[in-house]
Amino acid sequence: MPRASEARPKDQDQRLALPHPHGGRLVDLRVKDEEERRYLLGISKELKRVVLDEGQAADLGNLADGSYSPLRGFLCRHDFLKVVHDMALEDGTIWPMPIVLPVSREEAKRLRGERELALVDREGRPLAVMELEEVYPYDRAATARELFLTCDPAHPGVREWLAQGEFLLGGEVRLIREIQLHPQFERYRLHPVETRVLFITKGWRTVVGFQTRNIPHRGHEYIQKSALEIADGLLIHPKIGRKKPGDFKDIVILKAYQALIDHYYLKDRAVLAVFPAKMRYMGPREAVFDALVRKNYGCTHFIVGRDHAGVGRFYEPGAAQRIFDELGDLGITPLRFEPVFYCRRCEGMVSEKTCPHGPSERIDPSGTRLRELFARGESPPPELVRPEVAQIILEEEAPFV
């Protein structure tokens, strides 16, 4: 029997059950002291400015609220090169995604010698003050090959990488203005510290994270509910931000998932929240990145598909799952699921592991096929997409990016 001073309250036990943030501590770079915030807003008017696009502003917000823990700013040269070549920071912490702030050669020349910069949105409103530690060049083509495993500009992530500025700015940031989302997304926004409190309040000791950039079909639902058989709760966490042409629009994805949760999930077992970030389509690296981010949000498990964050035929099937074996223990457990399909004979969603019947009995819920049906104004069979979900998409005037 422990002494009174050694006893821990129940909620503390639950808090300890959630994984530690990546790197051991949840970063918070949001300036909360009003006097300090006013001071930084004041000096930001005198500093040289860097205008952020939507994706860069989202990265800034994720740096500030701890989504990208342990990062404290845009990567400096040594961390950048280590991430590119070894999927780790200089101190050895696994980190697969370079969070960088690119600028043109002319911009780099204008900013050299500055100690601080004001990071502003497209309307010129100050978002953060950045301590400028480095302005450095990098080889766009060589780093693209390392990151995306290809230099082919047909890859949407490669195309964007090769088009960005040829210099990078590195340094810590302090956020002085919250990064605002569109009002239709704002009510679904939860910061990592908030999801952790929410999971504790719900009494969840194990939480499965699910990343998506697509509308939910019955295969997704089957996988999520299978995962819930071994966990207390589910965080459905669609990535809201820039996507390639042909992907579903963010608002369509969100409305579709809300309909699914309203009708087919237990309210005390599933949470729908948005993760503001652009898709990189970086395949295996992005799978690890997505898992580590959800670890920061408090997830203990993460669902990884065979083609997680893939595009076209640029990545080998299963590569996004195998990379977790190569990297070892990341502090979050990957849940690897095989592709699922509807079997007429089984009368349900199954996989190669559970169904003995041949291809003639199968209906494949592929994203490409579903997009083609919706583009023609046709509703997929209910075996693939819930009618409530299909109706939302068909009623949307232009459901695709």
Q: Could you list the active site residues?
A: 213-214
Q: Which two tokens stand for residue 260?
A: 């699914």
Nearest Cα residue to 264 out of 218, 195, 207, 231: 218
Q: Which residues, listed in sequence order, are joined to residue 208 by a DSSP beta bridge?
A: 234, 301
Q: Which two tokens stand for residue 226?
A: 């299978």
**What is the rounded distance in angstroms from the CA atom of residue 16 to the CA atom of residue 28?**
20
**What is the rounded distance in angstroms from the CA atom of residue 381 to the CA atom of residue 375?**
15
Buried/exposed 111-135: b ≥16 CB within 10 Å, e otherwise:
beeeebbbbbbeeeebbbbbebebb
Q: Collapse the DSSP code of 332 into the 3-class scheme (helix H, G, I; strand E, B; otherwise coil) and give the result.
A: coil
Nearest Cα residue to 275 out of 190, 194, 332, 162: 190
Longest dimension (CA), the chain: 70
**What is the rounded distance in angstroms from the CA atom of residue 225 to the CA atom of residue 208?**
10
Where is 286: in which H helix or E strand? helix 284-296
Over its C-alpha atoms, the chain yields an Rg (Å, rounded) of 22
Q: Collapse the DSSP code of 88 into the 3-class scheme (helix H, G, I; strand E, B; otherwise coil) and give the result.
A: strand
Name every residue whose Cβ is closer than 8 Å to that of residue 142 and which is 6 or more positions away in sequence. none
**Are 219 and 349 in contact, with CB atoms under 8 Å apart?**
yes
**What is the rounded distance in angstroms from the CA atom of residue 142 to the CA atom of residue 163?**
14
What ranges in 4-139 are assigned the alpha helix state H?
A: 10-17, 34-44, 54-65, 77-86, 105-111
Task: Give φ, ψ of 257 to 5 degrees.
Answer: -70, -35
Q: State the sign of the Cα–Cα–Cα–Cα dihedral 194, 200, 205, 208.
A: negative
**Packing angle, helices 77-86 and 140-148, rounded to 10:** 40
